[in-house]
Every structure is written in structure tokens, then in C-alpha cells.
């Protein structure tokens, strides 16, 4: 029976929070169960609240066979009991809430990693007992979530996550009961995981993944703006015979990474080849650490040439990894991993020290009216080091080279991420005297609105534009535009990747003053570069 607030015996106790005594319920017009009381031959009744502070948690009723006058001492005792009971209930609730909070994500209310792994552990154990029934783990990562967060702010990011969680669980609710037992969890950030149990076949997991992607594809409205999102999903299933939850999570995660790297908004299923790639990566990482310890990095130097006259004005230092086997590994094969693992900070620091020392030696051996310059590449991670400026200053001072002969090459992406911070760093570097170049210009997000605020000295045109140089073509027009832009911003220009005489002639004609490329020289080791300078 449902009691309205203020109606009937429990309703009025609930409303007032005070005990109520009724001499004879069969005579009470407000007592709604008079007929039942008569049938059971019950007459007197009292009820009291179970209280937590002023909140009524519950109401308890007692009945008696004959009618009775109110017994105040009895009511007082029962009131005390109600308060005690309330405390017990409150403690239990707090305990439940603690357990709930520790196992759920506060933003979306979904199970968190702890609860998810616990369920997965149980699924792994259950599968051992009943191998014919399968399960799968889906690892979901939103594509471009960072973009929303960075452009619309954290509140919008939170709203997006809540909306996404709702969409995912709506899809899963529909699946539930059709031979699938789903658990959706949020691991943190934009990472969600789903455990699908009771699967007859792992192909069901793929179908569900597709439905999830469809659900995310519809645009979301966040703070009045249409936001488009998609998800990359990795799947690992019990088919592969797992013995631990951690292994499953790792493999579903690996599959998700592949989905991302193959172009996002994709579904990938874990297989052995993925495992091998990951293992290779891991061993490359530990080899890289070893390379640092064993000092296996070497610098090659590529001359930068003045197009009128053909003089070498400086060099760009380019790192290579000389493996114990003698193999020379190009930076394309290890810089990205070094960046991801943070090893680039150490490599980059070594590069600066070594290159500046070489520069100082060359400047002493070959004094000229305009001293030779040295360019080194600075990675995004290196640039973001809080003491980056201090590292540069220390390396320059230690070498004895003149600061104004040093060029730090930075790609556009680094500065666009946090322009204000970048401007500050660049200004401090210039105050010290070193010069800064913008590398691979035209390949990143060239933000023209920032470019004029960023105190760059030199702009390096990416070699893809030089490559496209043909007689009277768009390639020429792009380079001409970049040259004009640089001129109006008062920057020097170095064209990269000049490979042919034609390139060089064209560049010179268009007014580009400096270039580097295979036409002049490939990057040379220290000995060959020293010999070239002497010549
Ligand atoms: P980058 O800074 O744009 O360097 C120019 C790259 O173009 C070099 O490749 C150079 O060998 C190559 N190159 C020069 N002239 C020509 C040409 O005429 N034709 C062609 N096809 N290529 C030419 P490399 O040495 O393999 O370096 C690749 C990239 O690796 C560099 O691009 C730079 O981004 C990165 N890198 C190299 N050394 C370092 C380093 O010490 N630290 C960091 N963070 N990155 C480095
Ligand atoms: Mg460079
Ligand atoms: Mg470049």
C-alpha cells in the first residue's frame, strides 16, 4: 500500500517526524486500513520515526489486540530506539556510499577501473569453469576529445563525457538480455571500457562495437554548439585464452591504439601480430635507453648555403643512432618514440652540448667576418621543459660558442599549443642572444594570427614545397607567398630539400637567400663536415 505524505498512520509520522498513538484504529477516520485491522482484530496502534537528525529514514508501526490509552513512557523509549536505529542505518548508508564512491566515477556515475577489473577478474575465473561461454573487453577512446576540452573548456568536456556515457549505456541497455551481459565503465579521461559476458560468439562483440560507433556518430549539442565525435574501439576476447584481467586490458588497449593509428573511428580486434609490434616497441625503447648510456648517438651536419655566392653560412646538426651492430638508424625511426617516452629530453640536451662544442671548435679553426652558425632541432617535449631556457644557456656557456651564432629549430605545432607560453620562452632565448627558427613551415597548423606575435628570426620552408617546384606552377606561387610573408615579418628564409640545380635557380630567382639540400651536400659526419669546411 502507498501512503501519501500526511495521510494515514505512517504518512503523518513521516510528515511530522513525531510519534503518533491511536487508541482504536477501527474508530479513526484517517486510518486507511480499518477493514484489515478489524479482520485481524487489532485496535490500538502507535508508530514512531527512525530518525537521522531531522530526516525520517523509516516509520515503524506496532499494533495491539485491544484499545489502549496513550503510554507516554513507552513512546519515549520507542523514540530513543528510533534514534538509535537511525544511527545504525546512517552508518550503513555512509559505508555503502564509501564503497560506491570508491568503485564509481563521480562524473558519469559509471563503474570505475577498480570495479571493472574486479568484474573482469570474475569473468576470467568463470570462463575457466565454463569455457563454452565467452566474453570480450571493448576499449573505447574518443577521437579528438582533447580538441573539445581545449577549445570549449573543461565544463564542456565534462558535459560531453556525460552525454557519451549516456549514449553508450543506452546502446548496451538495448543489447542486455539478448544473450549479452554488459558492464560499462569509465577508466578516466575519455577512456571507456565495456565487458560483455555470456557471449555465444565473439562476433557479437564486433556488432555491438559497430552499434556503439553509430550512436556516437550523431552530433552532440554542447553549450549550444554542435560537436562531432567518433570513437576508436579495440577488442580483446576470451577466444585468445587469457588467464588474467590485466592481460586482457593490455591487449584491448593495444588494439585500440592500432584503431587510432589506422585513422580513427575504427574497430580493431587484438591478434598476435599486434602483440609482436608492441614487443618490438618495448625492446626499441629499452635499446634507446641503452643507447643513451653507451653514448651511441652521433651528429651529422648538413651545410646551409647562401644562394648568392654559394658560401656555407652554417650547419644543421641532425642526430643519428649508431647501433652496436654498426647500423646507422635515422631519426625518423626513433625520435617519435623518444618523444613519447621522454628520452628526447636527454637526447636533445646531449645534441645541444655536442653541436655547440663542435661549432665553437669550427669557429676557432675557421675564423670569418660573419661567424659560422649551428642549427639544432628542439622537440616539443624538450621545449616544454620548465628549465628549457636554462638548459640552453648552460649548454651554450659550456661550449664557449657565441650565442648569436646558434639557431634553435622549433616546429609550428609546439608554439600553437600554448602561444602565450611559447612567446615568453622565445623572448627569453632571444634576450640571451640565441636565434630561433620555425622548422618545416607549412606542414603544421600554420596559425598566421600567431605568427606575427612569435619572435622568430628564421623561417624554414618545408622540403615538400621545394620538391613541388616546377616551371610556372602552384609550387612556385606557394613559395613566393611564404617568402613575401617572411619578408613582411622581417624573417630570414632557409629553403629545405633543394635537390636539383633547377630548385636552386628557382629559389634564387624568387629572392630566397638560403637553402640546404642534397644538391649542396647530404648530412655529413663530423670528419667529412670538417673537411668540407677546410676546402
Ligand atoms: P628536419 O629538421 O626538417 O631536418 C631536415 C631533414 O631533411 C633531415 O632528415 C635531412 O637529412 C633531410 N634533407 C636535407 N636535405 C634534403 C634533400 O635535399 N632531400 C631530402 N629528401 N631530404 C633532405 P633527417 O636527418 O633524417 O632528420 C629528419 C628529422 O628528424 C628532422 O627534420 C628533425 O625533425 C628530426 N631530427 C633530426 N635530428 C634531431 C634532433 O637532434 N632532435 C630532434 N628533436 N629532432 C631531430
Ligand atoms: Mg630541422
Ligand atoms: Mg625541416
- Give the model confidence (pLDDT) of 245-272 as tens digits: 999 999 999 999 989 888 778 898 888 7
If one residue of 288, 299, 496 were mutated to test the ligand 1 pocket, choosing by the most ligand atoms within 8 A of its CB, it would be 496
Residue closest via CA to ligand 1's atom 23 equals: 497
From the CA of 440, the nearest ligand is 3
pLDDT band for position 150 (cuts 50, 70, 90): confident
CA 59 from chain center: how many Å? Answer: 50
Report how far ligand 1's centroid is from the alpha carbon of 516 (Å): 11
Judged against a pLDDT cut of 70, whether residue 471 lies above it is answered with no
Distance 383 CA to ligand 2 centre (A): 14
Residue 278 clears pLDDT 80, i.e. is over it: no
Cα–ligand 2 centroid distance for 406 (angstroms): 13
Residues 6+ apart with CB under 8 A from 492: 457, 458, 459, 486, 513, 514
Question: Does residue 105 carry a pLDDT above 90?
Answer: yes
How many A from CA of 464 to the centre of ligand 3?
10
SS3 161: helix
What pLDDT does residue 400 have? Answer: 94
- Distance (Å, rounded) from C-alpha 378 to C-alpha 456? 14
CA end-to-end distance (rounded Å), the chain: 103
Closest C-alpha residue for ligand 1 atom 33? 377
What is the distance between the alpha carbons of residues 21 and 374, in angstroms, rounded to a whole number?
95
User: Residue 483 to residues 414, 489, 503: CA-CA distances in angstroms?
Assistant: 22, 10, 15
**Averaged over 200-225, what is the pLDDT?**
88
pLDDT at 103: 94
Q: What is the pLDDT of residue 133?
A: 86
pLDDT beyond 70 at 367:
yes
All residues at 6 or more sequence positions from 96 whose CB lies less than 8 Å from its CB, including other chains: none
CA–centroid distance, 377 to ligand 2, in Å, is 5
Give the Cα separation of 238 and 137 in Å (integer): 9
CA atoms within a 13 Å half-sphere pointing along the CA-CB vector of 139: 24
Ligand 2 geometric centre to CA of 439 (Å): 6
Query: pTM for the full model?
Result: 0.62
What b/e readout covers 279-300, taking b as 16+ CB neighbours within 10 angstroms? eeeeebbebbeebeeeebbebb
Would you give the DSSP letter of residue 200? Answer: S
By alpha-carbon position, which residue is closest to atom 44 of ligand 1? Answer: 379
- When pLDDT is cut at 50, 70 and 90, the band that residue 473 belongs to is low
Residue with cell 642526430: 319
On whether the CB atoms of residues 206 and 267 are closer than 8 A, the answer is yes
Q: Does residue 331 line the site of ligand 1, with CB under 6 A? A: yes
178-188 pLDDT, tens per residue? Answer: 778 999 999 98
The DSSP secondary-structure symbol of 238 reads: G
The rounded Å distance from CA 318 to ligand 1 centre is: 6
Separation of alpha carbons 115 and 111, rounded Å: 6
Angle between the 154-175 and 203-217 helix axes, to the nearest 10 degrees?
140
DSSP string computed for 456-488: -SEEEE-HHHHHT--TTSHHHHHHHHHHHHHHH
Alpha carbon nearest to ligand 1 atom 25, residue: 318
- Cα 350 to Cα 134, 286, 298, 314, 354, distances in angstroms: 52, 18, 10, 20, 6
Q: What is the pLDDT of residues 107-124, one digit of tens each?
A: 999 999 999 999 999 999
* Spatial contact of 403 and 372, defined as CB atoms under 8 Å apart: no
How many angstroms is it from 219 CA to the middle of ligand 3? 38
Pocket lining: 523 vs ligand 1, CB cutoff 6 Å: yes
What is the number of other CB atoms lying within 10 angstroms of the CB of residue 220? 16
**In sequence order, what are the residues at sequence separation of 6 or more whose Cβ sits closer than 8 angstroms to the Cβ of residue 439?**
377, 409, 410, 411, 460
Indicate whether residue 302 lines ligand 1 (CB < 6 A).
yes
Give the CB-side neighbour count of residue 206, counting CA atoms within 13 A. Answer: 9
> Which residue has the least CA distance to atom 42 on ligand 1?
377
348 C-beta closer than 6 A to ligand 1? yes
Any atom of ligand 1 within 6 Å of the Cβ of 517: yes
Q: How far is residue 155's CA from residue 59's CA, in Å, rounded to a whole number?
A: 41
119 pocket-lining for ligand 1 (C-beta < 6 Å): no
Q: Determine if ligand 1 sits within 6 Å of the CB of residue 377.
A: yes
Give the C-alpha separation, 173 to 186, whole Å: 16
Q: Which residues sit opposite 459 in a β-bridge?
A: 438, 493
Question: Distances in Å between the alpha carbon of 363 and those of 139, 339, 352?
Answer: 56, 31, 16
CA of 316 to the centre of ligand 3 (A): 10
Residue among 472, 434, 439, 458 at smallest CA distance from 512: 458
Backbone angles phi, psi at 226, to 5 degrees: -80, 125
Pocket of ligand 1 contains residue 330 by CB under 6 Å: yes
Return the best residue to mutate from 331, 356, 499 for the ligand 1 pocket (most ligand atoms within 8 A of CB).
Answer: 331
User: What φ, ψ does residue 412 adopt, rounded to 5°?
Assistant: -60, -40
> If pLDDT is split at 50, 70 and 90, which confidence band does 353 have?
very high
**Protein residue closest via CA to atom 35 of ligand 1:** 331
Q: What is the mean pLDDT of residues 288-300?
A: 94
Per-residue confidence band for 447, with pLDDT thresholds at 50, 70 and 90: low
Which ligand has the minimum distance to the alpha carbon of residue 441?
3
Residue 379 beta carbon below 6 angstroms from any ligand 1 atom = yes
Which atom of ligand 1 is the closest one to the Cα of 330?
Answer: 26
Q: Is the pLDDT of residue 480 over 70?
A: yes
| CA of residue 409 to ligand 2 center, whole Å | 6
Bridge partners for 47 per DSSP: 20, 61
Give the closest residue (by CA) to ligand 1 atom 4.
Answer: 318
Average per-residue pLDDT in the chain? 91
For residue 348, pLDDT over 90 is answered with yes
Between the CA of 348 and the centroid of ligand 2 the distance, in Å, is 13
Q: Where is mean pLDDT largest: 90-94, 176-180, 270-274, 494-498? A: 494-498
pLDDT at 223: 81
| Atom 30 of ligand 1, residue of closest alpha carbon | 331
Q: Could you tell me if the CB of 410 is within 6 A of ligand 1?
A: no
Dist. CA 524 → ligand 3 center (Å): 17
User: How much is the pLDDT for 277?
Assistant: 72
- What pLDDT is attached to residue 486? 93
Q: Which of 288, 318, 329, 501 best tests ligand 1's pocket when mutated (most atoms within 8 Å of CB)?
A: 318
Helix 245-261 vs helix 272-293: crossing angle, to nearest 10: 90
pLDDT for the residue 417: 66
With a CB cutoff of 8 Å and minimum separation 6, the contacts of 70 are 21, 23, 46
Q: Are the C-beta atoms of residues 304 and 514 closer than 8 Å to each other?
A: yes
Amino acid at each position: 500500500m502507498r501512503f501519501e505524505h500526511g495521510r494515514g498512520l505512517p504518512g503523518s509520522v513521516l510528515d511530522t517526524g513525531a510519534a503518533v498513538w491511536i487508541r482504536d484504529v477501527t474508530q479513526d477516520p484517517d486510518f486507511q486500513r480499518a477493514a484489515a485491522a478489524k479482520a485481524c482484530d487489532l485496535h490500538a496502534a502507535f508508530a514512531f520515526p527512525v530518525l537521522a537528525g531531522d530526516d525520517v529514514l523509516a516509520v515503524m508501526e506496532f499494533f495491539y489486540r485491544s484499545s489502549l490509552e496513550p503510554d507516554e513512557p513507552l513512546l519515549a523509549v520507542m523514540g530513543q530506539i528510533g534514534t538509535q536505529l537511525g544511527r545504525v542505518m546512517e552508518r550503513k548508508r555512509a559505508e555503502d556510499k564509501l564503497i560506491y564512491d570508491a568503485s564509481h566515477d563521480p562524473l558519469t556515475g559509471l563503474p570505475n577501473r577498480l570495479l571493472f577489473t574486479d568484474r573482469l577478474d570474475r569473468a576470467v575465473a568463470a570462463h575457466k569453469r565454463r569455457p563454452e561461454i565467452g566474453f570480450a573487453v571493448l576499449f573505447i577512446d574518443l577521437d579528438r576529445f582533447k580538441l573539445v576540452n581545449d577549445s570549449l573548456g573543461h565544463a564542456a568536456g565534462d558535459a560531453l563525457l556525460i552525454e557519451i556515457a549516456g549514449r553508450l549505456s543506452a546502446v548496451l541497455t538495448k543489447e542486455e538480455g539478448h544473450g549479452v551481459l554488459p558492464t560499462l565503465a569509465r577508466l578516466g579521461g575519455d577512456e571507456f571500457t565495456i565487458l560483455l559476458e555470456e557471449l555465444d560468439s565473439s562476433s557479437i562483440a564486433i556488432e555491438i562495437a559497430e552499434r556503439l560507433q553509430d550512436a556516437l556518430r550523431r552530433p552532440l549539442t554542447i553549450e549550444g554548439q554542435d560537436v562531432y565525435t567518433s570513437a576508436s574501439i579495440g577488442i580483446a576476447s576470451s577466444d585468445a585464452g587469457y588467464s588474467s584481467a590485466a592481460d586482457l586490458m593490455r591487449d584491448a588497449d593495444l588494439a585500440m591504439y592500432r584503431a587510432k593509428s589506422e585513422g580513427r573511428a575504427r574497430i580493431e580486434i587484438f591478434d598476435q601480430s599486434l602483440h609482436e609490434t608492441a614487443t618490438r616497441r618495448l625492446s626499441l625503447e629499452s635499446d634507446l635507453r641503452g643507447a643513451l648510456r653507451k653514448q651511441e648517438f652521433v651528429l651529422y651536419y648538413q651545410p646551409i648555403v647562401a644562394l648568392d655566392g654559394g658560401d656555407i653560412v652554417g650547419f644543421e646538426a641532425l642526430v643519428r643512432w649508431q647501433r652496436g651492430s654498426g647500423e646507422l638508424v635515422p631519426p625518423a625511426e626513433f625520435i617519435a618514440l623518444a618523444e613519447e617516452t621522454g628520452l628526447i629530453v636527454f637526447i636533445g640536451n646531449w645534441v645541444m652540448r655536442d653541436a655547440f662544442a663542435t661549432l665553437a671548435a669550427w669557429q676557432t679553426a675557421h675564423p670569418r667576418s660573419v661567424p659560422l652558425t649551428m642549427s639544432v632541432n628542439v622537440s616539443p617535449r624538450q621545449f616544454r621543459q620548465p628549465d628549457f631556457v636554462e638548459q640552453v644557456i648552460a649548454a651554450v656557456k659550456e661550449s664557449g660558442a657565441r650565442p648569436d651564432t646558434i639557431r634553435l629549430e622549433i616546429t609550428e605545432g609546439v608554439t600553437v599549443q600554448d602561444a602565450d607560453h611559447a612567446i615568453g620562452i622565445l623572448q627569453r632565448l632571444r634576450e640571451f642572444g640565441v636565434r630561433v627558427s620555425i622548422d618545416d613551415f607549412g606542414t603544421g597548423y600554420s596559425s598566421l594570427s600567431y605568427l606575427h606575435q612569435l619572435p622568430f628570426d628564421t623561417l624554414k620552408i618545408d622540403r615538400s614545397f621545394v620538391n613541388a617546384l616546377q616551371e610556372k606552377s602552384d609550387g612556385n606561387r606557394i613559395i613566393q607567398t611564404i617568402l613575401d610573408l617572411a619578408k613582411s615579418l622581417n624573417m630570414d628564409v632557409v629553403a629545405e630539400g633543394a635537390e636539383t640545380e633547377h630548385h636552386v635557380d628557382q629559389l634564387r630567382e624568387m629572392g630566397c637567400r638560403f637553402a640546404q639540400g642534397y644538391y649542396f651536400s647530404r648530412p655529413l659526419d663530423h670528419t667529412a663536415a670538417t673537411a668540407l669546411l677546410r676546402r
